[in-house]
Structure 1
């Protein structure tokens, strides 16, 4: 009971510091929406089912009022989404088991755009992380680390975003990701809470074993993919809120992710 009371008190202090005026209003200029809209043309993994929205009702009723409703379907891994640890970690958290404390926290943006522009299959290295830290300080414990490759500029263009526009083709994928050594460094040396990237996968395009997914999955680290507007965030100082649909037993889920700027 005392531990729960201390936790509640800490959270209250944190929210008061982060949002001193939240009881009245939140400054819209400090909010950054980092989620792509879900639609039938939303980009999805080549072997995944696309998002579909089916009209059930839309129009005026005989009683004279407007009524609209729809059915939706598709893969968990479409558009901006979360990969639960269970996706590549046997016995690890499913989507509904991930504590919210793992998906809300201080944001760190590691800019790898220059290297990704030179090499579309670039993998973030430990040296890139250390370079970031020399400029901005040590990555804090519990951080949500976001890798900015600049791939968002290709969103909507399947061939440029994935490297191929052929349905089912996973042999010609081309986009940046994270190296295994960098993933292990973030886990063992920095104790992060979650990671995100503005590409289709945390593993780079040519990967066949998805070793970075495995590494993070086994450590119960949530992954955010196809994250939008990352370039609008500072290198540090923003607070990230990444709220997935709570799918029981899921390996992932559509994600609404946004940032509050300092």
Structure 2
């Protein structure tokens, strides 16, 4: 039996489960909102063209309006100034689109502190228990934040001091970008940086280091709790927008049961 036939049989039998990690796109899907004078991305919106009427009697279809960085999406290296000469989203390698995943779970810590930051020591402790991070794969950071995805207010969790969402420290961001073997880093929050990362050195350190190292970001994930710490394979499918800095994506995980 060929490898692909075995995989197809495992999918049919349920020995391998497909877990959808994607946030559905609709007008209420939370987005990143920047303060003035910065430009903001568009919310997702359907614009009806026809619906079995005089505009098109036998068909229903829509235009869609959205930003590259709306909902579950991929950040390309050229999204940040440190990676400005790097790849656009159309150049995401197929070996990164389908790749092994490691899942680090810090939900208990985030329940106690929404500003919790992942540190290098946390990843080192994870590796001591589970083994090395996957070469060319993804590090996925579970925080339980997907439970807040119902409204913009809960997801951004802002007060007068700004948003309060978990992320990674500047040192940890640099380590993931420059010292880890992974090709990308994924989170449940609206962006790969912590809500307070505008005050880090450098500001928005995860973007700064990750994009500068020509690695990829992945945001607004769901269902990470259904993945094992190791052994899952993720399938990341953004639109191949030539020149694009990112794209909404359908993200699946293959999990052996």
Partner residue, 1:221 = 215
- Per the TM alignment, residue 23 of structure 1 is displaced from its structure 2 partner at its CA by 7.5
Q: Given the alignment, which residue of 41, 45, 55 partners 1:48?
A: 41
Deviation, structure 1 residue 154: 0.6
Partner of 1:136: 130
- 1:48 Cα offset (Å): 2.2
Q: Please, which runs of 5 or more residues in structure 2 have no aligned partner?
A: 34-39
Task: Name 1:11's counterpart in structure 2.
Answer: none
Q: Match for 1:83 among 55, 70, 75?
A: 75
SS in 1 for 2:158: coil
Among residues 57, 61, 83, which one is paired with 1:69 in the alignment? Answer: 61
CA distance in 2, matches of 1:18, 1:219: 33
- Structure 1: which 4+ aligned runs deviate by more than 6 Å? none
Contact 1:43–1:79, Cα closer than 8 Å, also in 2: yes
Tell me if 1:59 matches 2:52.
Answer: yes
TM-score (norm 2): 0.87
Q: Is the 8 A contact 2:51 2:60 kept in 1?
A: yes
Q: 1:231 aligns with which of 208, 225, 228?
A: 225
* Contact 1:84-1:223 at 8 Å conserved across structures: yes
8 Å contact from structure 2 (residues 28, 152) kept in 1: no
Paired residues of 1:158 and 1:164 also in contact (CA < 8 A): no
1:36 aligns with 2:26: no
* TM-score, normalised via structure 1 length: 0.85
Q: Is the Cα–Cα contact under 8 Å of residues 104 and 139 in structure 2 kept in the other structure?
A: yes
Query: In structure 1, how many angstroms separate the alpha carbons of the residues matched to 2:183 and 2:55?
Result: 52
Shift in CA distance, 112/204, structure 1 to aligned 2, threshold 3 Å: same
SS of equivalent to 1:55: strand
Deviation track 1:187-241 (CA, whole Å, cap 9, x = no partner) reads 3433211110001111100111212101000111110000111111010100001
Mapped partners of 1:107, 1:137: distance in 2:
12
CA–CA distance in structure 1, aligned partners of residues 237 and 84 of structure 2: 23
- Whether the 8 Å CA contact 1:103–1:222 is kept in 2: the answer is no
Are residues 253 and 232 of structure 1, via their aligned partners in 2, closer, same or farther at CA, if it must alter by over 3 Å?
same
Structure 1: where are the runs of 5+ without partners? 1-15
Distance 1:198 1:49 in 2: 20
1:182 and 2:169 are equivalent in the alignment: no
CA distance in 1: counterparts of 2:179 and 2:115, whole angstroms = 25
Deviations 1:81-105 (A, max 9, x none): 1111111121011111221212321
| RMSD of Structure 2 on Structure 1 (CA) | 2.4
CA distance in 1, matches of 2:55, 2:194: 54
How many matched pairs? 243
Question: What pairs with 1:84-233 in structure 2 (closer than 5 Å)?
Answer: 84-88=76-80, 89-164=83-158, 172-208=162-198, 209-233=203-227
Q: Structure 1: how far apart are the matches of 2:175 and 2:76? A: 20
Distance across 2 between alignment mates of 1:153 and 1:36: 11
